[in-house]
Amino acid sequence: MKVIILAGGKGTRGKPYTEFFPKAMTPIKGKPALEYIIKYLQKFAIIDEIIILTDLKGLGGQIKNYFENFKKISFVQDSGKGTGGDLLHIEKALSGETEFMLWFSDNLCAINVKEMRDNFRKSNSIAEIATRSKRKEETGFAVVENGIIKEFREKPEIKLPLEECLGVYILSNEIFKIIGKKIMKKQINLSYDILQPLSKKGNVSAYNIGDKQWLDVESPVIVERNEKTVLDIIKQMGF
């Protein structure tokens, strides 16, 4: 199975840092966040190639310069036509694949790739999204009774009312035909234009990551603020 890593975002939330380097290159213990993701994915025997889709003509050139000597990695210039348009742009590179993994480069998580792939096959769905049903909050909470605070709970783990969708997917090659029908749109958003209609038909499955931690590594500030979580995740990854 091939993995497409989308690393072509503008990194708006990560500014001003992302004006100088892609958020995929956000440092963690002296290495880019993307390096942990790549080396983790390469631990799985079912992964035979990683394709990084980024703006090679812009800041994404830094990604190619850093990783071009890594084994079984190739690079493709992004299309600039949204997450869905990017997939259509890379269809030829996935010729012969019945399914592939899509990983957004700012998602740091030790997902069991094989287990997720097996779950996808059992579901007979067109798309599968990694989800979580609980998370550790960054802020403190209070137990309030009649306007009086009875107890403080610092950064508790809470159960979410709805499962949160993470930026890791497994997609059937059928997705290309579906995206192709939207080809006239300037921007094709994978979530809203493609997966939302599919979900209404029951064609999108979920893979809950359970007790695994997850973090959106959008900037050095987020990494510093969530240092313990970051260290826990890379430990779960085996680093």
Spans of all domains in the chain = 2-134+162-236
Tens of pLDDT, residue by residue over 118-127, are 999 999 999 9
Longest CA span, the chain = 63
Tens of pLDDT, residue by residue over 196-223, are 999 999 999 999 999 899 999 988 998 9
Query: What mean pLDDT is reported for the chain?
Result: 90
Least confident of 44-53, 67-76, 83-92: 83-92
pTM of the entire structure? 0.89
CA dist 98 and 44 (Å) reads 18
Give the DSSP H or E segment for 95: none
Q: Which residue has the higher pLDDT, 72 or 11?
A: 72
Going by C-alpha positions, the residue among 87, 84, 111 that lies closest to residue 99 is 87
How are strands ordered across the β-sheet holding 127-136? 73-77, 49-54, 2-6, 99-104, 157-172, 127-136, 204-208
> Above 90 in pLDDT, residue 182?
no
Considering the four listed CATH numbers 3.90.550.10, 3.20.20.70, 3.20.20.190, 3.40.50.2000, the one that applies to the domain covering 2-134+162-236 is 3.90.550.10
Length of the chain: 239
The pLDDT of residue 95: 85
Measured in degrees and rounded to the nearest 5, phi and psi for residue 148 equal -115, 130
Residue corresponding to tokens 């159960």: 159
